[in-house]
Chains A and B, each alone.
Chain A
Amino acid sequence: EAQVTQNPRYLITVTGKKLTVTCSQNMNHEYMSWYRQDPGLGLRQIYYSMNVEVTDKGDVPEGYKVSRKEKRNFPLILESPSPNQTSLYFCASAVESSYEQYFGPGTRLTVT
Chain B
Amino acid sequence: AQKITQTQPGMFVQEKEAVTLDCTYDTSDPSYGLFWYKQPSSGEMIFLIYQGSYDQQNATEGRYSLNFQKARKSANLVISASQLGDSAMYFCAMRDWELTGGGNKLTFGTGTQLKVEL
Binding site for B on A (CB under 8 A): 31-33, 35, 40-45, 48-50, 56, 58, 88, 90, 92, 94-96, 99-101, 103, 105-106, 108
Contacts and interface: CB of A to CB of B under 8 A. Distances in A.
Of residues A33, A101, A103, which shows the largest number of chain B Cβ atoms within 10 Å of its Cβ? A101
B40 to A, nearest CB: 11
B50 A94 contact: no
A1 to B, nearest CB: 15
A56 B43 contact: no
Interface residues of B, number: 22
Contacts, number: 65
Contacts of B52: 99
User: Which applies to chain B's interface (DSSP): helix, strand, loop or mixed?
Assistant: loop
A95 B102 CA distance: 12
B33 A99 contact: yes
Contacts of A108: 43
Interface in B87-104: 91, 93, 95, 101-104
Interface stretch (B14-22, B61-69, B77-85, B107-115): B107-115
21 contacts: A31-B104, A33-B105, A43-B93, A44-B108, A45-B103, A45-B105, A48-B102, A48-B103, A58-B102, A92-B106, A94-B103, A94-B104, A99-B33, A101-B35, A101-B104, A101-B106, A103-B44, A103-B45, A105-B43, A105-B44, A106-B43
B43 A100 contact: no
A50 B91 CA distance: 24
